[in-house]
Amino acid sequence: MNLSTRAHGLLRIVIGFLFFQHGYGKLFGTLPGATEASTPVPLVSLIGLSGILEVFGGILILLGLFTRPVAFLLAGEMAVAYFYVHVHKGFWPVENGGELAAVCCFVYLFLAAAGPGAWSLDSRIARGRGSD
């Protein structure tokens, strides 16, 4: 396994872990052990749906399970978030607060196109089937 494959896998693991935390905070108001809590969002709302996608999608991305379809779905979620929440606040992402949405969108597009990289359940499943 070369350095590029390992870096690819590490990118997937880190973005999945961070995304999980982002969604967990939306759904439950705080992370375990955090001292400050916010109000959880209603599950039956766009923000609630985004929280659900971020928690479960983040876990699947972190594990490298169903990476390509999940990453494609999350890239779409981030594009919607950018154009629905941020773009009306100004043209530049740094001005409108949309940097995270833009970066995540393109990281997820990369994962959708390139697959999971190293250390993924997708790879283990493919090896088990003899198609790796």
pLDDT tens digit sequence for 75-99: 999 999 999 999 999 999 999 999 9
The verdict on pTM exceeding 0.85 is yes
Structure-token pair, residue 4: 């590029």
Q: Give tens-digit pLDDT for 87-132.
A: 999 999 999 999 999 999 999 999 999 999 999 999 999 988 875 4
- 116/68 Cα distance (integer angstroms): 7
User: Residue 59 is part of which domain span?
Assistant: 3-129
Distance CA 34, CA 21 (A): 12
Per the structure, how many domains does the chain have? 1
Show the CA angle centred on residue 49, arms to residues 34 and 33, nearest 5°.
10
| Per-residue model confidence (pLDDT) at position 130 | 75
For residue 129, the Cα-to-chain-centroid distance in whole angstroms is 27
The DSSP symbol for 87 reads: G
What amino acid occupies position 19?
A: F
